[in-house]
Chain A
Amino acid sequence: MSANNHQKTWKRAAAAGAFIAVFILLFQLIGQIFIFKDTNSYNSIRSFYKIAPQTVDVAFIGSCHVHYNINPMQLWDQDGMAACNLTNSNQTFEVAVLALKECLKTQSPRLVVLDLLAAAYDDTYIYDGGIGDYIQENMDAYHFSLDKVKAAFQLRRYGNPFEYAFGLFYHKARYADLSKTDFTDTVDASTRDYQYKPNQGIENVVSTYSEQAATARDFDANEKKSLLEFIRICKENGIELLFVSAPYQLKEGEMGFYKTCREIADENGISFLDFNSVEQQLSFTPQSFSEAYHLNVSGVKQYTSYLGEYIANHYQIPDQRENPLYDAWRQDSLRARQIVKSYALHDARNLSDFLAVLNENRNDYVTCVNVYSCGIEDLPEGDIEQLKELGIDPPPYLDSYAAVIDGGQATAEHTSDTPAQVNYSLGDMSFFVKSVGYNCWSLSDEFSASDTVVKISHFEGKDDASVAAKQSDLQEGETDNTEIRIPKGGFHFVVFDKALGKVVYNDVWSSSEK
């Protein structure tokens, strides 16, 4: 081949290589835009990727039985344990292996705690729905890698492996539904709080203690193979492994799967804390549960506390609270505590309880209140008193009422047949509340009940003049960072947490919900 031809060939090869490289880059970028991000799996795994390398000492891997039940930040507060959750909804052991491999790329945990719910997935759940519905969401959470491709093909019995490996092929039809949030990365390391479950309550926890005689029952062969691989990887990397089975309402026969897990654990010298067995009985009562499968706030506290104590007593996990490398963890811990505190607002069963929590923490929040078609006529005296204690002078029925309460001090307006609106600023935050009561919108075509709104703006880095100008703009109805329309008639509360810098509660209490 002549020198010219040689050169031409190399140029072409280089051009082809560059073309392919740019294609791969564009494919990853566009894929990242298209995948659906509002999932527990995405938040859990993507926030894990943002954790500083070589800082995690304990990794909790598993399904919703981890991200709804274990609060890693509580372990930090309790024992200075640098723990994190790597979880996916309905995680199978194949995905657990992927999670472990991803974890080991940037972290060197001393201990991995694996929840064994995947062992209890029976054939019906695996092959007739349930698991298959979540695989795509789970796989989308992980960065692209050869491990992800391998896992995708291992999971091909559930669906299309190319879609699992390359989320763009699955989510491409979203092109008409893309919004601003698809183009932004809203996950950071601090997002790795545990996922809250509201306190819906259950009537009883079906006792599995009566199943102590259950014989071991083999679980899905593919799951078993992956579980053994999980164990092998931990051993090869010198990582200690702990199995857990979180407390939940077992179905008949499920205990048999955990018996098999016990056998595997014994064969491999792995401790297994089965919180559904009589040996591991704790005081989990119906009051600990959100619903049949997950714990509520107090249940999480109890479960996490027990795990933390067990790990501290049985494994060499250092206390990192004084370690200067863990500044970010300290910040995250403060934030997590604040978030957990706000869950009490969601757990309130009635307006009284809600107001009690709000009053107790009034200095932490800026509370925006507006109403339409609601007033004090149907409220009990106690609630009216609590409202007044909060700083709200509740209006008569059908009037307009808007208020912003900060630390018990209220800025409010109460009108009858015109809209009420209030403007309030706190540092570089701006709050605008407008209420269009029944008397107002029913008498005039000029106003509409849907104009009842709360707008919250954050003008980071702006000077006083531009903030003031922006407030003025707000009064004229310009759209904003956060705009919340009242969803139904009643007392609408929007609670803004000052420390977290975000809205932690947004709901309506109608006067009939006493």
Chain B
Amino acid sequence: MLFTTAKFLIFFPLVSLVYFLLGTRYKKAWLLICSYYFYMCWNPKYIVLIVFSTVVTYLCGRLVGKYRENGRLCRLFVGLSFALNLSMLIFFKYFDFLFVNIQHLAGLAGVTLVPPAFDIVLPVGISFFTFQAVGYTVDVYRNDIPAEKSLLRYALFVSFFPQLVAGPIERSGNLLRQIQADHSFDFDRMCRGLQIAAIGFFEKLVISDRAAILANRVFSDYTSYSGSELMVGAIFFAIQIYCDFSGYSHIAIGTAKILGFDLMKNFDHPYLSTSVKEFWRRWHISLSTWFRDYLYIPLGGSRCSKLKKYRNILITFLVSGLWHGAGWKFVVWGGLHGVYQILEDIFLPKIKRLTDKTGMKVHTGGVRLVRMLLTFCAVDFAWIFFRADSMRDAVGIIERIFCRFQVWNLLDGSMFQLGLKSTEWTVLILGLLIVYATYVIEKKQSVGDFLAKQNICVRWIIYYGMIFGIIIFGIYGSAFNVNNFIYFQF
């Protein structure tokens, strides 16, 4: 079930109510049942996959804990955990992609391969829970956390419903420790959780789904639009994907907080970054740190020659691209980000030396703004590959943006013919300003702390403004189809 449906809005309060009424010994079992029910709402049969992943990584963790002195055996168990989970992931997610490419190659060699008779449906969230589970076995191997003895607690760690289908990808050191603890009802924590979740609903329903209307229209029929219109479409997709994913994460973090769990922050206003490297410190933090800790660093990280470091960056981002989707366009997207970071690593120090020599001021607001805009342009350029229906479409869109750019389209009202009227643009811009306002607040304190300091009337006005803003300006209901969260496809 989606977070932004009535079903979830009934499900979650019921789950929470029973959770806090139950005694300590039954709380975890109740959450596990609810988490499995939550997942089975997507497809009941695929619960087998979560259970499989849970049992495999639980056993591997226990075995690693038991045979810790035997390093080779431990590596075997970790390898087994990786192999089984990634095999499952590869089968469900990449089988069609691999087959099509092999078929193409075989065709070049004159061999015809017949496609299989069965269809493989991608299980929701498989990329997330497999990564979370195998990450645990590595953590146990590295002795960052002792092996979890309780299958119940471990199963809950893998399947905890707020973050099950689209992250954040939690670390065992954070979430498993919290699962081991007891949680009783706390009013302040509930308020904070609701505030965070409300921000998430606002981002998803008011901003992301609104931006999606324009982005989808433009990307689905790009040959009908000028370069400037496609550029605006690309910008709107950047807004859409950020607010969609950030919104989901906020809802996940908020609902987990109500239940007493603190999930990791997953987004930190990434479009305000002044470099691509910084962007990846702020975007999908749980995934980028996972790749850093479980792929980049084991490859050697940056503690090696420059060439090897760049190789490691490229591999990490290519794999990251592939993680996002079974398609060459995702690989190109990831590769672009790798190339960006390599270029930054090469040129930024040179630029710094130059500015130091010339005494040029670089820490001004103007320079920062320029750097932000350049970073955003680079990131948004890569998003074109991410969003386009194919590589060919992506190239076609880029060609039109650069070669068929009509600047007057930006001023002659054409922008209001792309699916959003002027009032919708106004709502979107106001929504982005509200998101920016949360960034300004969060520079000094959390939004919760800021609200707690306000007079009760001001707080309530903000709360009612937010709630009715979501109800009135949200894109949902029979006039719209509920837009799935983008990252569910991963």
Contacts and interface: CB of A to CB of B under 8 A. Distances in A.
Interface in B318-338: none
A163 B468 CA distance: 15
A163 B479 CA distance: 11
A310 interface: no
Nearest to A8: B187
B454 interface: no
B401 to A, nearest CB: 30
Interface stretch (B84-92, B93-101, B295-303, B469-477): B469-477
A169 B464 contact: no
A26 B468 contact: yes
* B468, B472, B479 — most chain A CB neighbours (10 Å): B472
A175 B473 contact: yes
Given A12-B187, A26-B468, A19 B473 contact: no
Interface in B422-475: 423, 456, 460, 463-464, 467-468, 471-474
A168 B463 CA distance: 18
B477 A26 contact: no
Nearest to A136: B478
Given A12-B187, A176-B421, A176-B423, A160 B468 contact: no
A269 to B, nearest CB: 42
22 contacts: A12-B187, A15-B456, A19-B460, A19-B463, A22-B464, A23-B464, A30-B468, A34-B472, A159-B478, A160-B477, A160-B478, A162-B6, A163-B477, A163-B478, A169-B471, A170-B477, A170-B478, A172-B471, A172-B472, A172-B477, A175-B423, A176-B421
Contacts of A170: 477-479
Nearest to B464: A26
Interface string A1-39: 000000000001001000100110011001000100000
B479 A173 contact: yes
Nearest to B9: A162
B472 A23 contact: no
A416 B98 CA distance: 84
Contacts of B456: 15
Nearest to B459: A19
Question: What interface size band does chain A fall in?
Answer: 20 to 34
Nearest to A31: B471
A381 to B, nearest CB: 54
Contacts, number: 39
Question: What interface size band does chain B fall in?
Answer: 10 to 19
Question: A interface, by DSSP: helix, strand, loop or mixed?
Answer: helix
A159 B6 CA distance: 14
A30 B464 CA distance: 12
Interface in B369-412: none
Contacts of A19: 460, 463
Interface string A147-162: 0000000000001101
A160 B476 CA distance: 11
Contacts of A159: 478
Interface string A377-388: 000000000000
A282 to B, nearest CB: 42
B468 A169 contact: no
A135 to B, nearest CB: 11
Nearest to A176: B423
Contacts of A176: 421, 423
Contacts of B476: 169
Nearest to A172: B472
A170 B464 CA distance: 19
Interface in A279-334: none
A418 B215 CA distance: 54
Contacts of B464: 22-23, 26
A129 to B, nearest CB: 14
Contacts of B460: 19, 22
A12 B189 CA distance: 13
